[in-house]
Structure 1
Amino acid sequence: MTDITKLREDICRFARALHERGLTHGSTGNISVRTPDGGLLVTPTGSSFLTLDPARLSRFDAELAHVEGDKPTKEMPLHRAFYDTRGTAGAIVHLHSCHSVALSMMPDVDPNDFLPHLTPYPIMQLGRVKLLPYFMPGDAAIGDAIRGLAGKRSAVMLANHGPVVAGKSLEAAVYAIEELEAGARLAMMTRGLSPAGLSDGDVAALVSKFDVEWDD
C-alpha cells in the first residue's frame, strides 16, 4: 500500500468515525491532509463523512493546484491559511459539533481563551483556542482572520459555525478536535453551576510540563 493510498483510507476511516459518533452531521465538516509530495488531500464539497470514497477525494499538487478528484470543500480558504501560517501543520479538521457551537454563542465567553479551564487535556492538546467572529461559510475572510493569528494558535472556533484544528498528523488533529468538543460539552453541562475548575497555578504547571503553546 502506497503512502497516498493509506492517507486516502485514513481520511475516510476517521471521517466515518466522527460522523458515527455525532461529532458532525449530514454533509458538514471537512478534512485536509498533507501528502508526501507537499500537496493536499481534501474532502469534497457536499460530501458526507459517512460515505466518503477514497478515490474521489480532492487532490492538490505542491503548488495547491487541483489536479485530481471531486471539487474540494468550499472551506479551502481556512485550510490554506493554516498551512500557510503553521509550518508544523500536517492535517486540518473542521467540524460542526453541537456543544462547541452552542458555547460559541454564549455572551460571556472569552474570545482569546474559548474553553474554560475545567480539565487538563484541552489545555495540553489545544493550548488557548481563539474564538473568531461569525463569517459566512466559505468566506475568504475566514482565511484572513486565521492568517491574522500568525500561526500562534493550533485551534480556532468559528462563532455560530464550528471548530477548526490543525495537527502534526491526521490522528493528532482528530484527537485534538474531539477534546475541544468534549471540553465545550463539559462547559455547557456545568454552565451556571460554579464548577471548581483548574487554578491558574494548575494551568501554568500544565503549560510548563507539556510545553504547551500558550500565546496571550
Structure 2
Amino acid sequence: MLAGRSLTANGLSRGSAGNLSVREGDHLLMSPTGSDLGSLVAASLSVLDFEGNLLEGPRPSKEFPFHRAFYRRDRSTNAVVHVHSPAAMAVSCLEPWTEWSAIPPLTPYFVMRVGQTPLVPYADPGDPSQADWIEAIPFPLHAVLLQNHGAITVGRDLAEAVDTAVELEQVCDTLLRTAGLPKRLLSQETAVRLAGKYGRHWTLGQPAAVPPAHS
C-alpha cells in the first residue's frame, strides 16, 4: 500500500511499529499485528466489524479500539494512522502546551494541516480505556499525541491522514529544535482564522473541560 510505504519513506514508521486503518462501509480494514507498514499489501489486511470481530485475514493490531474511537467521533473520518515517529514520540513525553493542544501554533502549516493536537493521558498499548478517553474529547481535532507513545492522525482518506502525520512530525521536530529558546508563536486569533480557512480546528481561549486523566 502506498500509504504504508510513504510513512516508511518519510521515517515515520520503523520495523513493525505503528498501524493504520480505513473505513469501508460497516467494516474496517486494518494492518495486522506486528506488520511492517512499508510492506503492506491490500490482500494482507485484517477485516473487522465495528464490534471488533475478525471477519477476514490475520489478527489485527491490538490498538483497534482507538481506531474505532476516531471513526465513531466523526463520520467524515475514513482513515486513521498511528506512528511512533521520533519527534512526535519525544514531544509526547513532554508536558503539553495546553489542555487542548500539546503543541503551540508554531507554524501556519501545522495549524492549516493538523490543527489543535491534545495529549491523551498514558494507558498501556491496546488498553480500551484510552479509546474511551479519545471518544469523549469534547472539541474537534484531526490528531492527538498519546502520552509516552506516539501520534495518531485522521483524514477523509489515507493520503490525507498520512500528510497530516508528516506535518505533525515536522512541527514536533521544530518544537524540539527550539526547546529553551524564546518563541514567536502565531497569535491565537491568527491560528483560529487559518485553521477555519483550511478545514482544521483551533480553540480560542479555554475549551470545555476535557475528560479526567487516568493513571
Partner AA of 2:5 in structure 1? R
> How many angstroms does 1:64 deviate by?
5.2
Residue in structure 1 matched with residue 193 of structure 2 by the alignment: 205
Query: Is 1:40 equivalent to 2:42 in the alignment?
Result: no
**Do the aligned partners of residues 111 and 151 (structure 1) sit closer, same or farther apart at CA in structure 2, a change above 3 Å counting?**
closer
What's the % identity of the aligned pairs? Answer: 38
Asked if the contact 1:30/1:95 (under 8 Å) is kept, the reply is yes
Residue in structure 2 matched with residue 25 of structure 1 by the alignment: 14
**Deviations for 1:100-150, whole angstroms, at most 9, x for unmatched residues?**
111122236334211121111111122211101111111111111111115
Residue in structure 1 matched with residue 157 of structure 2 by the alignment: 169
Asked if the contact 2:30/2:46 (under 8 Å) is kept, the reply is yes
Aligned residue among 100, 103, 110 for 1:115: 103
Query: Is 1:145 equivalent to 2:133 in the alignment?
Result: yes
Q: Where does structure 2 lack aligned partners over 5 or more consecutive residues?
A: 208-215
Q: Aligned-residue CA RMSD in angstroms? A: 1.9
Partner AA of 1:92 in structure 2? V
Greater Cα offset, 86-95 or 145-154: 145-154
TM-score, normalised by the number of residues in structure 1: 0.87
Residue in structure 1 matched with residue 47 of structure 2 by the alignment: 59
**Do the aligned partners of residues 28 and 208 (structure 1) sit closer, same or farther apart at CA in structure 2, a change above 3 Å counting?**
closer
Query: Is 1:194 equivalent to 2:175 in the alignment?
Result: no
Q: Where does structure 1 lack aligned partners over 5 or more consecutive residues?
A: 1-11
Residue in structure 2 matched with residue 5 of structure 1 by the alignment: none
> How many angstroms does 1:211 deviate by?
4.3
Greater Cα offset, 119-128 or 136-145: 119-128
DSSP 3-state at the match of 2:39: coil
Residue in structure 2 matched with residue 87 of structure 1 by the alignment: 75
Equivalent residue pairs, number = 204
DSSP 3-state at the match of 1:191: coil
TM-score, normalised by the number of residues in structure 2: 0.87
Residue in structure 1 matched with residue 145 of structure 2 by the alignment: 157
Partner AA of 1:137 in structure 2? P
Partner AA of 2:153 in structure 1? V
**Deviations for 1:147-203, whole angstroms, at most 9, x for unmatched residues?**
111572221110110111121111111111111111111110111121322123322
